Amino acid sequence: MSLKSFHIIFISASSLFMTYFIYWSLDSWFSYKDLSYLFYSVLSLGLLISLIIYSRNFSKKYKELTS
C-alpha cells in the first residue's frame, strides 16, 4: 500500500469517526444537558476541520513530490 493510499484511507476513516462522534455528542447533550458532551462535540468539530485541512495540505505536498 502506498503512502498516498494509506493517508486517504486513514483520513477518510478518521473523518467518518469524527462525524459520528459529533452526532453522538450532540444527541447525548440534548438528552442529558451535560456540558461535557457539548465540549466533546466542539472538540470533534475542530478535529474534523483539522483533518480536512491536513488532507488538502498532504495532497498538495504529494503532488509536488511526484512532479
Instruction: Please tell me the distance from the alpha carbon of residue 3 to that of residue 36, in angstroms, as a whole number.
Output: 36
pLDDT one digit per residue (tens) for the chain, 67 residues: 888 899 999 999 999 999 999 999 999 999 999 999 999 999 999 999 999 999 999 999 988 888 7
Which pLDDT does position 67 carry in this prediction? 76
Which pLDDT does position 66 carry in this prediction? 84
Which pLDDT does position 18 carry in this prediction? 98
User: What DSSP letter does each residue of 2-65 carry, written as one string?
Assistant: -HHHHHHHHHHHHHHHHHHHHHHHHHHHHHH--HHHHHHHHHHHHHHHHHHHHHHHHHHHHHHH
Instruction: Please tell me the distance from the alpha carbon of residue 65 to that of residue 61, in angstroms, as a whole number.
Output: 6
